[in-house]
Structures are given as structure tokens and as C-alpha cells.
């Protein structure tokens, strides 16, 4: 049976998260430690401790690995959707609760692929909120929408790997400890060649952070880095999963990760709509509240429809995954649809607010800017549509 009802326990947890975000996290949105390169590590740690105190830290991780879960068990994808939406009310909510990108997707991947030693050294401290991680794939002129263009190389002499290459748009690079690096393993007599993942501590000489890029978003801790691997030497234990399987692991990570982006941004878009609705009720023009002008009420109505459609789309893809399906097609449809629709919601909210919409008098401006990037990462809309189109055409 398909059931859209939210069970009482889940609704109570959703409301608890919303209260936590509103009461404890929203006040930090004006903290100077929320810099143009995202929240800094000092702010992140302070927020993480607030969530830890409320037992709201890393709710998504499997409980057997230290995740908070719900009622002593790990969350289903649908439950995750309901709770992440509440967390997303502030872009700092997922940071506090340790369910923001890229750590969240990285934790998911590591929980599926890491060996016991890697779990101890990397996954456990990540789940505990003590360290951060990166997923380093995208390259200037190389891997991007098309990961097959991967140009970072790795060689293997039977004992050690040597990695060389350059990456950019690497979220959280500045300050992250656990680095998942994608490189193309050259032919060698010991291991399969091809795109391969490595997991290592980022604090070593072969990893050079050239700079943090200036971008229009500022919701990710550490911003987005340009990094270089200069004869990075790694022991054979740094191999993550099997050699030559990086693209398969990236897909494993991406399907749920693109949905969790949708969940968090849905919460942020709802917040923007809430602010726009309040404004439409109280701001008057031409003798009445602006919300009573049809042009404004239609903008708000379009938002309401879009928010509802996005929620249902997310829940359906989550439900499929809860049935054990990979839901690649549905998560791809959800990602492209939700990112485009929510950005339109944020834009209409800016419009309803009039001139202050583009100012930091409200958080709508920040949501609008931060959300723009969502149409690009984890697959630009056009790439998803291209894949959907190919499936449609058989």
C-alpha cells in the first residue's frame, strides 16, 4: 500500500528539528564566521555541538556506525526526506546536524565501500562531526559533466601509488581531513587500470590547495577549492574499494546525494516562501496588502504548487529506494525538476519582496544565491535531461 501519512513519531521528530533550527541555528545566520567562503570551521564546530546536545547529530548515518537515527534504528530514505526538509529551513541547519554536502554523500559512500581500518580512521570521526571530507573529481578542462574525461593520473609500483593532477570546485577542501580522490590508474601488473578512488588524509605535502574560489554561494563549509596533487605518494591501503571502479562508486554516491540536496533545498525554499507570504500580507501598495493584488497572489500560488510537486517527486524517488530499487532514472528526474523549480520559487520570493528582496534584510537573497549552484552540481539540469531523454528514446 502507498501511504502519504507521516507517522506520529516522524512528525514529532520533524517538528523537533524545525524548532531546533528556528530557535538555535537561525540566530547564527548573521554571524561573521559565515564568510564569503561559507561557514568557517569554528562556526561549524559550535553548531555541531548544539546539534550533538539535542541528539540531532548525523541522523542519517546507520545507527550501527554511530548515526542518531530515529527510535534506535536507521532512517529510511522517505524519513530522511521529511527530516532534512525541516533541517533545511536554515542553510546552517544541515551544517549543524552534520548532514550537509559533501560530508553527507561521502559518509554514505564510505559506509558502503570503506574497509574496517578506513571506517576507524575516516568514517567514524566524520559521523562524530570531528572532521570533514572532500570528494575530489572535477578538473579544469577534464572531468566534469563527463567524468570519463578524468585527467588526474595515478601510477602503482606494487607498493605505492603516485598521483598527479589538478582539480577545482572541490567543496570543503580548505580544512578537510578525509580526502576521496578520483584518479585514472595507469596500466600496471598488479591492479586493474582505470578511474579509481583513493582515501587519504589531506594534511600532507603532495596535496596543495592553490586557492579557494570566489563563488556566489556561501553555504558550504570551507568554500570550493582549486587543488593540485604533486607527486602525491599513497600507500596501497589508500585504495578505496576496488581499483578501476571509481565511476561505479561515484554513481552509488550520486543517486542518494542528489536527492538529499533536493530535500535540504526544499526546506530553504519553504523558508523563502514563508518570508514572502508574510511580506505580501503586511506590505501595502495601492490601498491594500500586495498579496491581494492578483499578480502577487499568483506568484505565491505558483510557489505553493511547486513546493508540493517537488516534495512528492522527492518522496516517490525515496520510496523506490526504500523498496530496494536504485531509482537512477527517478532521482535524475527529481534532481533536474526540483533544482529548476525551487530556483524559480526563490526568484519569485525575491520579486514579492520588492527592492529589499535583493538585499540581506531577509535571508531570501542568500537562499537565492546559494541555490543557484544546485542547478549545476551533482549533474547540471541539461545532463540529467539528456540522460532522461536517452532512456525515453530507448
Ligand X SMILES: Cc1cc2nc3c(=O)[nH]c(=O)nc-3n(C[C@H](O)[C@H](O)[C@H](O)COP(=O)(O)OP(=O)(O)OC[C@H]3O[C@@H](n4cnc5c(N)ncnc54)[C@H](O)[C@@H]3O)c2cc1C
Q: Which CB, 97 or 100, lies closer to ligand X?
A: 100
Nearer to ligand X by Cβ, of 169 and 364: the residue is: 169
Cβ distance 169 to 213 under 8 Å? yes
As measured in angstroms, the least distance from the Cβ of 202 to ligand X is: 13
Contact 303, 276 (CB under 8 A): yes
- CB closer to ligand X out of 13 and 174: 174
Indicate the residue among 147 and 267 with the shorter CB distance to ligand X: 147
d(CA 125, CA 121) in angstroms, rounded, equals 7
**Pick 62 or 380: Cβ nearer ligand X:** 380
Tell me the closest approach of the beta carbon of residue 103 to ligand X, in angstroms.
10
Residue placing its CB nearer to ligand X in the complex, 25 or 227 = 227
Considering beta carbons, is residue 149 or 309 the nearer one to ligand X? 149
**CB-wise, 194 or 380, nearer to ligand X?**
380
Residue 308 CB, nearest distance to ligand X (Å)?
27
Q: Indicate the residue whose CB is closest to ligand X.
A: 144
Minimal distance, residue 88 CB to ligand X, in Å: 16
Rank residues 173 and 296 by Cβ distance to ligand X and give the closer one.
Answer: 173
Which grid cell sits at 144?
566534469
Distance in Å, CB of 127 to ligand X, minimum: 19
Q: How far is the CB of 19 from ligand X (least distance, A)?
A: 29
Please give the residue ranges that form the binding site for ligand X (CB under 6 A).
Answer: 102, 134-138, 144-146, 169-171, 217, 224, 373, 376-377, 380, 382-383, 386
Residue 97 neighbours by CB under 8 Å, 6+ apart: 17, 51, 56, 57, 58, 59, 87
Distance of closest approach, residue 209 Cβ to ligand X, in angstroms = 13
| Shortest distance (Å) from residue 71 CB to ligand X | 33
Cα–Cα distance between 353 and 347 in angstroms, integer? 10
Q: How far is the CB of 346 from ligand X (least distance, A)?
A: 15
Using the minimum distance from each CB to ligand X, give the nearer residue, 201 or 278.
Answer: 201
Residue pair 132/101 in contact (Cβ under 8 Å)? The answer is no
SS (H, E, C) the chain: CCCCCCCHHHHHHHHHHHHHHHHHHHHHHHCCCEECCEECHHHHHHHHHHHHHCCCCCCCCCHHHCCCCECCECCCHHHHHHHHHHHCCCCHHHHHCCCCCCHHHHHHHHHHHCCHHHHHHHHHHHHCCCCCEEEECCCCCCCCCCHHHCCCEEEECCCEEEEEEEEEEEECCCCCCEEEEEEEECCCCCCCCEEEEEEEECCCCCEEEEEECCCCCCCCCCCEEEEEEEEEEEEHHHECCCCCCHHHHHHHHHHHHHHHHHHHHHHHHHHHHHHHHHHHHHCEECCEEHHHCHHHHHHHHHHHHHHHHHHHHHHHHHHHHHCCCCCHHHHHHHHHHHHHHHHHHHHHHHHHCHHHHHCCCCCHHHHHHHHHHHHCCCCCHHHHHHHHHHHHCC
Shortest Cβ 370–ligand X spacing (Å): 9
Amino acid at each position: 500500500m502507498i501511504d502519504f501519512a507521516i507517522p506520529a513519531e516522524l512528525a514529532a521528530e520533524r517538528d523537533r528539528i524545525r524548532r531546533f533550527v528556528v530557535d538555535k541555528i537561525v540566530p547564527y545566520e548573521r554571524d561573521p564566521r559565515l564568510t564569503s567562503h561559507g561557514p568557517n570551521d569554528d562556526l561549524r564546530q559550535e553548531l555541531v555541538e548544539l546539534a550533538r546536545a539535542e541528539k540531532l547529530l548525523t541522523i542519517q548515518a546507520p545507527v550501527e556506525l554511530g548515526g542518531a537515527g530515529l527510535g534506535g534504528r536507521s532512517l529510511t530514505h522517505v524519513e530522511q526526506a521529511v527530516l532534512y526538509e525541516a533541517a533545511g529551513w536554515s542553510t546552517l541547519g544541515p551544517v549543524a546536524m552534520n548532514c550537509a554536502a559533501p560530508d553527507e554523500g561521502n559518509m554514505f559512500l564510505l559506509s558502503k565501500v570503506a574497509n574496517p581500518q578506513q571506517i576507524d580512521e575516516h568514517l567514524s570521526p566524520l559521523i562524530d562531526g570531528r572532521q570533514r571530507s572532500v570528494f575530489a573529481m572535477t578538473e579544469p578542462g577534464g572531468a566534469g559533466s563527463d567524468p570519463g574525461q578524468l585527467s588526474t593520473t595515478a601510477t602503482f609500483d606494487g607498493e605505492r601509488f603516485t598521483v598527479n593532477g589538478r582539480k577545482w570546485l572541490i567543496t570543503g577542501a580548505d580544512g578537510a581531513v578525509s580526502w576521496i580522490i578520483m584518479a585514472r590508474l595507469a596500466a600496471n601488473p598488479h591492479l586493474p587500470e582505470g578511474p579509481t578512488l583513493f582515501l587519504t588524509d589531506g594534511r600532507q605535502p603532495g596535496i596543495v590547495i592553490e586557492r579557494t574560489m570566489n563563488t556566489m554561494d556561501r553555504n558550504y563549509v570551507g568554500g570550493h577549492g582549486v587543488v593540485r596533487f604533486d607527486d602525491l605518494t599513497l600507500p596501497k591501503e589508500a585504495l578505496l574499494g576496488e581499483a578501476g571502479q571509481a565511476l561505479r562508486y561515484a554513481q552509488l554516491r550520486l543517486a542518494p546525494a542528489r536527492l538529499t540536496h533536493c530535500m535540504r533545498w526544499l526546506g530553504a525554499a519553504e523558508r523563502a516562501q514563508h518570508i514572502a507570504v508574510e511580506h505580501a500580507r503586511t506590505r501595502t501598495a495601492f490601498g491594500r496588502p500586495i498579496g491581494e493584488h492578483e499578480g502577487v497572489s499568483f506568484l505565491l500560488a505558483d510557489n505553493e504548487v511547486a513546493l508540493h510537486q517537488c516534495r512528492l517527486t522527492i518522496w516517490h524517488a525515496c520510496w523506490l529506494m526504500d523498496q530496494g530499487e536504485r531509482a537512477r532514472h527517478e532521482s535524475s528526474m527529481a534532481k533536474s525538476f526540483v533544482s529548476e523549480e525551487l530556483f524559480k520559487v526563490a526568484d519569485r520570493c525575491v520579486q514579492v519582496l520588492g527592492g529589499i528582496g535583493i538585499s540581506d534584510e531577509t535571508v531570501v537573497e542568500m537562499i537565492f544565491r546559494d541555490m543557484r549552484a544546485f542547478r549545476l552540481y551533482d549533474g547540471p539540469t541539461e545532463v540529467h535531461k539528456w540522460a532522461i531523454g536517452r532512456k525515453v528514446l530507448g
